[in-house]
């Protein structure tokens, strides 16, 4: 284990233990926490550099789809979420590729205090998270044998990490929000060349060798007592260095609705 990891993991464990102990009553903040079923859709830019296939960067545009289910209890809230990204127009000059990314996550969020910023109250939530990330890419090339084998690439992460959220009501019906999530420890999978002896497709990764991070900035409008409309910007980065270098990034603009149950 590298020296940085030796310090990160104890701090992470201490943080997981301390958050529930410091948790406040969620009652006063429950109106801010997104409860119910949410459906989000949007589009954005994607860029990938995958040295299993090529050292060149491929980029394009594609749709973003997401669904979330959230509930709150007296001292914490939890959320189950799914995200899906797809494009068949990932390109580098005249070479194109098809990309699919899927993630499934669960978050446990505890009230983490509040502050006043320019006369507005800002409420914070934080807690542990777990996420499954899957990435699949196929090059649109003709050929056979080795060229066909090198036309496919896959990556996966099963991660434990941390998530934080902030909410700022600016009126009776409008709330600004932001969130960030970071993986700490992951079990990773990667495409490998079977001709390379000793190349295992599975490894244990830290945030330095298998990073999965994303964040959002958005605004919620309460249309009715049970319906909210949301617009947001989402940034996502996944980086894996334990095998052939891999980095995938996307930024999307999102429109969504939440129906409170």
pLDDT score of 108: 92
Query: 29: which DSSP letter?
Result: G
Rg (CA), the chain: 20
| Residue tagged 């009230």 (tokens) | 111
Q: Are 70 and 36 in contact (CB under 8 A)?
A: yes
Pinpoint the alpha helices (H) of 62-171. 146-149
Range of the domain at 112: 3-259
pLDDT score of 192: 78
| Residue tagged 């969130």 (tokens) | 179
pLDDT score of 146: 55
Using CA atoms, how far apart are residues 212 and 155, in angstroms rounded to an integer? 12
Tell me the mean pLDDT per 10 residues along the chain, length 261.
44 45 49 82 91 85 92 85 90 85 93 81 90 90 57 91 91 89 93 72 91 93 90 94 90 92 76
pLDDT score of 255: 95
Reading the block at residue 19, the tokens are 């958050």
Which residues pair with residue 41 across a beta bridge?
65, 255
**Do β-strands 227-240 and 57-72 pair in parallel, antiparallel, or remain unpaired?**
unpaired
Reading the block at residue 139, the tokens are 């090059």
The SS3 of residue 3 is helix
pLDDT score of 20: 44
> What CATH number has the domain bearing residue 228?
2.40.128.100
Using CA atoms, how far apart are residues 45 and 61, in angstroms rounded to an integer? 5
Residues 6+ apart with CB under 8 A from 148: none
Count of domains in the chain?
1
Q: Are 227 and 258 in contact (CB under 8 A)?
A: yes
CA angle 158–160–162, rounded 5-degree value: 140
């Amino acid at each position: 284990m590298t020296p940085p990891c030796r310090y990160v993991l104890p701090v992470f464990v201490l943080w997981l233990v301390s958050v529930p102990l410091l948790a406040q009553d969620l009652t006063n903040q429950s109106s801010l926490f997104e409860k119910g079923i949410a459906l989000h859709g949007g589009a954005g830019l994607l860029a990938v550099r995958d040295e299993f296939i090529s050292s060149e960067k491929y980029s394009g545009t594609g749709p973003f789809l997401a669904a979330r289910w959230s509930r709150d209890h007296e001292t914490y809230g939890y959320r189950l979420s799914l995200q899906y990204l797809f494009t068949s127009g990932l390109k580098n000059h005249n070479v194109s590729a098809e990309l699919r990314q899927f993630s499934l996550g669960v978050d446990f969020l505890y009230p983490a205090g509040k502050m006043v910023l320019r006369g507005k109250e800002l409420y914070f939530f934080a807690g542990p998270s777990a996420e499954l990330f899957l990435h699949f890419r196929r090059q649109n090339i003709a050929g056979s044998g080795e060229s066909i084998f090198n036309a496919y690439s896959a990556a996966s992460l099963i991660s434990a990490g941390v998530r934080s959220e902030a909410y700022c009501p600016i009126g009776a019906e409008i709330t600004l929000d932001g969130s960030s999530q970071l993986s700490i420890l992951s079990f990773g999978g990667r495409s490998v060349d079977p001709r390379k002896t000793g190349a295992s497709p599975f490894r244990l990764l830290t945030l330095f060798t298998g990073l999965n991070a994303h964040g959002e900035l958005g605004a919620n409008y309460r249309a009715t007592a049970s319906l909210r409309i949301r617009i947001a910007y989402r940034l996502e980065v996944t980086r894996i260095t334990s095998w052939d270098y891999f980095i995938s990034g996307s930024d999307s603009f999102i429109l969504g609705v939440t129906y409170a149950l």
